[in-house]
Structure 1
Amino acid sequence: MTAPLGRVLIIAGSDSGGGAGVQADIKAVTMLGGHAATAITAITVQNTLGVHGVHPLPLDVITAQARAVLDDIGTDAVKTGMLGSVQVVETVAALLDTTPAPAVVDPVMIAKGGHPLLEDRAVAAVRELMIPRAALLTPNAPEAEALTGLTVEDLDGQRRAGEALLKLGARAVLMKGGHVAGGDMVIDLLLTPHGETLLEGPRIETTSTHGTGCTLASACAAGLAWGKPVQVAAAEAWAYVAEAIRRAPGLGGGHGPLDHAWPVRGK
C-alpha cells in the first residue's frame, strides 16, 4: 500500500512556551494537513520573556528518535531547526543522508529574545554540512550574514546573500526580510537556480512574532511533503504565517506566539 503524503520529520529543539521550536512546527504542519513527527535535539526552558535554560539531548537519543520515525512511519520531508552544537550538526547531517526526503533547513542561531541557540564554532558546520543538504534554506538577515560574510541591509543584500548560499549548495533559499529595517513592507525573497520570487506584504507592528521562523520553515516543509513545487510551498507557507501573525492572541508579557490554529476558526 502506498504511504500517504504529508509526513514531516522535525529535528529541532523544544520550546516550553509553545511559541517556537517543535511545538510551533507540529502546529504548522498539522494545520496545513500534514503528519508531524519529531526528533528533539534539546529541551529549552522558555516563555515569551526569553530563554532561561537549554538542555541538549544526547546524540544517540537524537539519532534513535529519528531512526524510530524513519524506519517505521517514514517521511516525505525533513525540517531542521535548533541544532546547537557541531556534534548535533554532524549527527543530523548523517541522518539526512539516510533519506531521499527533501530537507528544509532553518539555520537557527539566536532566539527572539537574544539568547544564542547555536555555538559560534558550529556556524561553519552548518555552512559545510547543512547547506549542501538543503532542498530549501530559510535564513533571516543576521543568519545569512553569519553564513556568507555579506551585509544584508536591503533587498539587494538579500539577493546577494541568497545567491551566495545557492553557490554553497542549497537548492533553494528563502531569504527572510523581517530583520531588514526600513519601509512599511516586508519582503521575503525566494531564490532558485531558475529565478526568484518576491513574497511581499505590509509590516505588522506587533511583539507577537515569537516562532515566525520555525513556523515558516515547517509550513514550507508541509508543502514539500505534499509534493508541491518549492515556489508554491513557500508562497502558501508565507500566507499562512502572515495571517497567523495578524491573528496573534497576545499571550505573555514579551514576544508572544502566533495563532497557529487560525485555519480552524475560518477567515
Structure 2
Amino acid sequence: MIKNILTIAGTDPSGGAGIQADIKTFSALGTYAMSVITAVVAQNTQGVRSYRTIDANFVGDQIDAVFDDIIVDAVKIGMLANAEIVQVVASKLKQYHVKNVVLDPVMVAKSGDPLIDETAVLAIKEILLPQVTIVTPNIPEACVLLNKKEPIPIEDMEQEAKTLLQLKPQWVLLKGGHLTGTICRDVLCNSQETHEFVGDRIITKNDHGTGCTLSSAITALLPLMNVPQAVEKAKGFLECALKSSNQLSVGHGHGPLHHFCNLWNQ
C-alpha cells in the first residue's frame, strides 16, 4: 500500500519551501501527502516579508482530524513558530504514539529572516527532540540548539553532531551545506554508529527549500528502510532536484528545486 506521510509546517506561497515543498517531495517519491499548517508565511524567492502563526489549539485540531481518520506512516515537522505550538505538537505525537518522526528545526530562512522565537527553541529542546527519530539541522540551526555563537567548522561536525545527541533524538543529521568550499559534508550519527556523506558542492542559485526537501524525502522513505538508507536515498533525490533546478525560471532570488526531475525528465 502507498504510505501516508504528514507534514506539520508553515507555508510558502512561492512554492519552493515549507508545506508546498514537502507535498511535492512526498508526491515525487510515491507517497500520499497530507499537511497540517502551523503558520502562514508571506515569502518568495527573495525573502520572508511577514508571517502569521496559527492558533495552537487549531493546530491540534488539524492533527486530530488526520489521526482520527487516517493511518499515518511518518511525520515531518518543520516551522513551529512559538512554544505553544511546539507543546501541542509534542503532546499529539505522544498521544498517537507516532513513529518515524523527522524534525527539520526551521529557525531562520535562507534570507536570514527569523522564523521562530526563543521560547520555541527551548520547548523544542526540552519536549520535542526526545520524541523524534531524526533531527536534521544545518550549521546555523545546530548553533542555535547548542547555544554556540561561532559557526561549526567542517572538522568539528562529527563532534558537534554527537553533542546534539545529548538532546535525546534517536539520530542526528548535521548538514554542512552552509559551509564554504567545493566539498559538502553531512554527518549522520546515533549513539552507536556514525556515517559520513561527502560530495561535490552543486553550484546553483536555485536552492530555495533545500532543507525542507531533504527532510521530507527522508520522511517519505523512513517507513520503507532504516535511517542511514533513507538518508542516503534522500540525498540522491536532493542531488537530482538541485542539478535539474536550472530548468526552472521562478523568481529573481533563490529559485526552487526541481522536485519532479525524475518524472518530468523521462
Aligned equivalents of 1:178 and 1:136: distance in 2?
18
Aligned equivalents of 2:98 and 2:124: distance in 1?
19
TM-score by length of 2: 0.94
Partner of 2:103: 105
TM-score by length of 1: 0.94
> 2:8·2:38 contact (CA, 8 Å) conserved in 1?
yes
Amino acid at match of 2:52: H
Aligned equivalents of 1:46 and 1:157: distance in 2?
33
Runs of 5+ consecutive residues of structure 1 not aligned to the other structure: none
Map Cα deviations across residues 34-61 of structure 1 (whole Å, 9 max, x no partner).
1111110011111111111201111122
Partner of 2:164: 165
Partner of 1:91: 88
1:238: Cα distance to partner? Answer: 0.6
Count of residues in Structure 1 that have an aligned counterpart in Structure 2: 262
Pair 1:239-2:236 in alignment: yes
1:5: Cα distance to partner? Answer: 5.1
Map Cα deviations across residues 146-198 of structure 1 (whole Å, 9 max, x no partner).
111345433332212210111210100111110122x2110111112221111
1:136: Cα distance to partner? Answer: 0.4
- RMSD after superposition: 1.4
Aligned with residue 36 of structure 1, among 25, 33, 56: 33
Aligned equivalents of 1:155 and 1:165: distance in 2?
16
Pair 1:251-2:250 in alignment: yes
Pair 1:46-2:47 in alignment: no
- Equivalent position SS for 1:97: helix
Aligned equivalents of 2:184 and 2:249: distance in 1?
21
Partner of 2:133: 135
Counterparts of 1:1-267 in structure 2 under 5 Å? Answer: 4=1, 6-98=3-95, 99-150=97-148, 151-181=150-180, 183-226=181-224, 228-248=225-245, 249-266=248-265
Percent of residue pairs bearing the same amino acid type: 39
Distance of aligned partners of 1:193 and 1:266 in 2 relative to their CA distance in 1, 3 Å threshold: farther
Runs of 5+ consecutive residues of structure 2 not aligned to the other structure: none
Amino acid at match of 2:5: V
Range that drifts further, 62-71 or 198-207: 198-207
Aligned equivalents of 2:228 and 2:4: distance in 1?
19
> 1:5·1:76 contact (CA, 8 Å) conserved in 2?
no
Aligned equivalents of 1:77 and 1:50: distance in 2?
29
